[in-house]
Amino acid sequence: MLNFREFEAGPDPFGRKFQVLFKWLQTAISLRHADTVDVKFILTDEGGGPTEKTIALPHADVLRVAAETGRPVDDAWCARLAQLHLLRLVQTGEDMEKDLVTAPYADLKRYAAEVARMEASETRAA
């Protein structure tokens, strides 16, 4: 299972790898009046200082994916969805200039399937 609290991301298109720390998960209504779940990570590359990235998960899309997959919404699941989006951003370099990135529904659906596969794999291994 992916550890969303501390992990490595990369390499990015320039060959850099990042150490990533989970900072927090909050409903963005209280932060910026948005109906999202915001997940903040701190990225540190081998030669530079830390960078913060916030992955915004639209609440309606999270509920829709949860209903479609039969998965209850919880903090760990949302953090894993955000982690998978961040990993993709680093690998592709897409939106890396942004501090706040919103994950689209299609990506959330794909990440939910990946998390489900990982959870099933761990259950079989136990």
For residue 103, is it within any domain?
A: yes
Distance CA 12, CA 122 (A): 28
Which residue range is the domain that position 49 belongs to? 6-118
Tens digit of each residue's pLDDT, the chain (126 residues): 468 889 999 999 999 999 999 999 998 776 666 799 999 999 999 877 899 999 999 999 999 999 999 999 999 999 999 999 999 999 999 999 999 999 999 999 999 999 999 988 877 766
Number of domains in the chain: 1
Pull the structure tokens for residue 31. Answer: 């932060």
For residue 106, is it within any domain?
A: yes
For residue 10, is it within any domain?
A: yes
For residue 11, is it within any domain?
A: yes
Which residues, listed in sequence order, are joined to residue 28 by a DSSP beta bridge?
none
Reported residue count of the chain is 126
Q: What is the pTM for the complete model shown?
A: 0.91
For residue 68, is it within any domain?
A: yes
For residue 99, is it within any domain?
A: yes
For residue 126, is it within any domain?
A: no
For residue 125, is it within any domain?
A: no
